[in-house]
Chains A and B, each alone.
Chain A
Amino acid sequence: MNKTIYVYGSALVMSMALIGMPGCSKKSVQSGGDSQSTQGMAKGETDGSRSGVGNYPDTSVQSSGGGLRGLDKNPSEERVGSGTMLAKVDPSGSAGRQADEIRAEQAASAAAGLRDVFFGYDSWTISEDGRQALTRDAEWMKSNPIVQIKVEGHCDERGTAAYNLVLGEKRAKAARNYLVELGVNANRLSVVSYGKERPSCNEHAESCYQQNRRGHLVVKTGK
């Protein structure tokens, strides 16, 4: 929780800095027409978060010579430090909070009986089976009109991690768009891609790959 506060806090400081500097206060990114673009953003964020760019340190300083002093016929003593240029990780409450929230989402989604939609290799086309699953999901959503749904796009382990994130988003959006076609209000749907980073099955086999190429519908329980 501390971490979250810190992130927002720095964004706030940033936004103040931007407002204070006339040359920089211009918002340089126009948000597009896609309703999804702001869907995932939590409400009540500071101006700094909306501008979408946080603090940025100067990283351009490059040391030269790498601290090497060269060989010497009468070498003087060089102290070798502990090598701890790395801070000790601070196990904040975040991991526990995430685990609790994931469990709550899973329980709510299981209770709703929402169905996943599965995809072919390298594909984000909704199959006939997928349409049937989403039709059932749409009916459930219409009869539970307050519930917000997150459509997660997942991929199998083949291919690169980066491209699978884009592919996962295409799958999630294909499922989201079909639900909207079926009459679900787009404002109730958000999408997120997990690429191949959260597989439901871990074997190196097609039977497993099939289960991982999916659009997974989750009932949002938190923010």
Chain B
Amino acid sequence: MTQMKLISAWFGGGLLLAGAVGILESGAADVFLEATRPDFQKIPVGVVGIHNAGGPDWLGGRIEEVLKKDVKRSLVFDLVDLPSMGIQTPDIGDGMGATSKAVFRQAAEKGVSVLVWGKAGLKGADKEADVNMEGFVYDSGSDELVGGKRYVGSTSVVRLMAHRFADELVFRYTGEPGIARTKIAYVAEQGAARELFVMDYDGHDTRQLTADGFLNLMPQWSPDRRFLIFTAYRNRNTQDIDMIELATGKRWTVISLGGLNITPSLSPDGNFLAFASSHEGNSELYRLDTRTKVIQRLTVNPSGDLSPSWSPNGRELVFVSDRGGGPQLFLMGSDGSNVRRLTFEGDYNAAPVWSPRGNWIAYVCRTHKEYKLCVISPDGQKRMQLTTGPGVDDSPSWSPDGRHLVFSSTSDGKSQIYMIDADGKGIERLTFQGTHNSAPAWSPAS
């Protein structure tokens, strides 16, 4: 209990600090490093199992598998393997029996702070009957049942039940909503066309959103998760910026100025849309006030300016400009003031995205002729290369908790989508189908 309060106190404090003091203050940077540094104390969690309580054979196992992966990916917990610690796990689907008590005491002695178990079965004899899933959490610190959840739904939503339960766990111990129910929008090749798709954050449950037979590029989420905003080609001749409503599939054009209109990026409060447009000659940055529809030009120079990304407090933009020759990262106020160069290392730095915690900017850096992921602090003082090896890495996008990035890479040949921890560890491939998957965008937390 104390542990939980402590963690949520400094996570909450970090977010407040980033919002109130401003992202360039050094205090905020320390908070982020705390959350991802190697000696960050993850909470040891053991998943005892999800007992099958009537229903298809795969039911309990499926939920358990999804739950374990979610718990691991949260990076808040350290998923311990109970049998390898010498802790025998009886079938405890019925909850707090005498044998269960013994297991919990054993686990507590070995330093496992939290134990999770549950059961899942069909509510009726009918094959079409709903699934009933119950999950319970036991906290060895207080030696009692913390609480549980009971979910009901069709057999097609058992993954979602596991995701929901995982997010409840994260919420319980950090006060954050978790990322297990987030989604990733991306672009997939369909013949000669590129269409928008959305999948769960773990690569499952893929849905196609557009089918217009040409290029749809670089989707970004609206802060309320209801819309995607992206670049589309009208009659294959001009790039407009379109929006699509996920629930209805309704789609319309937001920006149609003529020329190249690319890299749309919504401010965290949803009130401004920054984008690059070449309608006045070369690619420049503009800002649409989404309430008044007034467009303000932010950059004025003969080079290409593109790829704006907002700081979490909405006050600044990081963007790409080739005003010095090759593409480099620059910072400016969100009104176009106070432009200064951020990157000086290497001759190609592009596709920047500001972390939701404010303390890092992830981008694509060219080293040894390969395009890899790097992060840099907004004050330019700290820089790290996250990926190595051959292949083109592109389009990094942060998870809403700032602990992961999703990106595309050709490291396995064809362009596919991968997830990586913010410290460069734990790469996980998310897409395996199709000839070309690119431009992933991580949704905000629900």
Contact = CB atoms under 8 A, between A and B. Distances in A.
B235 interface: yes
Interface stretch (A84-92, A129-137, A178-186): A84-92
A146 interface: no
Interface string B275-309: 01011110100101011111111000000101100
B253 A11 contact: yes
Interface in A127-163: 150, 157-163
B263 A162 contact: yes
A18 interface: yes
Interface string B138-173: 000000011111111110110011001001100110
B153 to A, nearest CB: 4
Interface string A74-90: 01111111110111111
A70 B306 contact: no
B350 to A, nearest CB: 4
Contacts of B223: 59-60, 62
A53 B254 contact: yes
A71 B254 contact: no
Interface stretch (B18-26, B74-82, B85-93, B202-210): B202-210
B411 to A, nearest CB: 11
Contacts of A92: 211-212
A86 B246 contact: yes
A70 B273 CA distance: 35
A54 B410 CA distance: 36
A87 B249 contact: yes
A38 interface: yes
A112 interface: no
B27 interface: no
A159 B209 contact: no
Contact of A95 (B150, B213, B215, B276): B213
Interface in A160-187: 160-163, 165-167, 169-170
Contacts of A88: 249
B194 interface: yes
Contacts of B233: 192
Interface string A98-127: 110110000000000000000000100000
Interface in A17-32: 18, 23-24, 26, 28-32
Contacts of A52: 255-258, 279, 295
Interface in B237-269: 237-239, 243, 245-260, 262-263, 266, 269
A92 B273 CA distance: 29
Interface stretch (B29-37, B48-56, B97-105, B438-446): B438-446
Given A86-B198, A192-B237, A204 B258 contact: no
Given A49-B256, A52-B257, A160-B394, A85 B294 contact: no
A99 B190 CA distance: 12
Given A52-B257, A82-B157, A122-B326, A163 B351 contact: yes
A71 B270 contact: no
Q: Which of A80, A87, A95 has the most CB of B within 10 A?
A: A80
B218 interface: yes
Contacts of B137: 71
A59 B217 contact: no
A202 B166 CA distance: 41
Nearest to A14: B293
B371 A75 contact: no
B134 to A, nearest CB: 7
Nearest to A41: B258
A65 B279 contact: no
A44 interface: no
B211 A71 contact: no
A205 interface: no
Contacts of B215: 194, 197-198
Interface residues of B, number: 115
B156 A82 contact: yes
A161 B217 contact: yes
Contact of B294 (A28, A102, A167): A28
Contacts of A160: 307, 327, 350-351, 364, 371, 394-395
Given A62-B224, A162-B306, A68 B236 contact: no
Given A59-B226, A81-B157, A122-B326, A71 B149 contact: yes
B44 interface: no
Given A68-B168, A75-B149, A61 B224 contact: yes
A72 B327 contact: no
A167 B320 CA distance: 13
Nearest to B200: A83
B97 to A, nearest CB: 17
Contacts of B293: 18, 24, 28, 51, 53, 56
B181 interface: yes
Nearest to A194: B215
A65 B214 CA distance: 38
B440 to A, nearest CB: 11
A100 to B, nearest CB: 10
Contacts of A40: 237-238, 258-259
Nearest to A90: B249
Contacts of B290: 56, 59
Contact of B292 (A24, A30, A91): A24
B145 A73 contact: yes
Contacts of B348: 122, 159
B392 interface: yes
17 contacts: A42-B234, A52-B257, A56-B288, A57-B243, A62-B223, A71-B148, A73-B148, A79-B153, A81-B157, A82-B153, A85-B247, A86-B198, A89-B209, A96-B213, A158-B371, A161-B394, A193-B239
Q: What are the 4 closest A-B residue pairs judged by CB atoms, nearest first?
A: A95-B213, A71-B147, A66-B177, A32-B280
Given A60-B271, A82-B154, A85-B246, 15 more contacts: A7-B253, A10-B253, A11-B253, A32-B280, A54-B256, A58-B270, A78-B151, A79-B151, A83-B205, A90-B249, A94-B213, A95-B213, A160-B307, A160-B371, A197-B217
